[in-house]
Amino acid sequence: MTIFYPLDTARLILQVDEKRKARSTPAVLMEIIKEEGLLAPYRGWFPVISSLCCSNFVYFYTFNSLKSLWLKGTAPTTGKDLTIGFIAGIVNVLVTTPLWVVNTRLKLQGAKFRSDDIKPTTYTGISDAFQKILQQEGVLSLWNGTLPSLLLVFNPAIQFMFYEGLKRQLLRQQAELSSFQVFVIGAIAKAIATAVTYPLQTVQSVLRAFRIFGSLQRS
């Protein structure tokens, strides 16, 4: 995540700032560095990494616990993998959405937007963001974007469905997978899941940044 963090910053900017003329990732990164400084692509790194650690812990713990309970003594299938992944995703969304709302705002804070209706925030950190959102917007604002996030549980569910399916196919032909094979099937599975669910990710980003957008009036 740290290595590819600047790409994620460019993705978020492109999703929320529709009036930005530069549409390619390298061009957006160059604009950010030129206007905001060399470290700007890493803005909000700590809250994102913290949220990612919590989110992955919740998801993988739930996924493997359900898998151990449900598949005990039975053979795994693609349908079961998808169902378990879906349930684990729902649990993850409900528990960790407040963290992602906060880190989305911190990541956008200080960015130079092209859209006039974007209103920047002034949070000093994670705890300050939580406090101000609760005071100014109410507790439910911490769950902004929950609906598309719930729909996006299909992302890891689809990812693990393809990952487990590809892994089983390879294990029928050989006793053990190499690190490179694990890397390749993981990348393929993630690419498929991302391509299928990307429109929902765009909606999710906009809703999480709701305070920045005010009324979110679009032309």
**DSSP-assigned letter for residue 39:** T
Helix, strand and coil percent figures for the chain, each rounded to 5: 75, 0, 25
Cα–Cα nearest to 58, from 85, 89, 92: 92
User: What was the pLDDT predicted at 115?
Assistant: 67
pLDDT of residue 12: 85
- Find out whether 19 and 42 touch, Cβ atoms under 8 Å: no
The pLDDT value recorded for residue 210 is 54
User: Which two tokens mark 79?
Assistant: 């349908």
pLDDT of 217 reads: 38
Taking alpha carbons only, the member of 8, 20, 10 closest to residue 118 is 20
Q: What is the mean pLDDT of each run of 10 residues along the chain (219 residues)?
A: 89 79 80 88 87 90 89 76 85 91 82 69 83 88 84 80 88 89 93 88 76 42
Rounded distance between C-alpha atoms, residue 170 and residue 165, angstroms: 9
Query: Which of 202, 50, 58, 35 lies closest to 129 in space, CA to CA?
Result: 50
Task: Give the pLDDT score at 218.
Answer: 38
d(CA 179, CA 106): 35
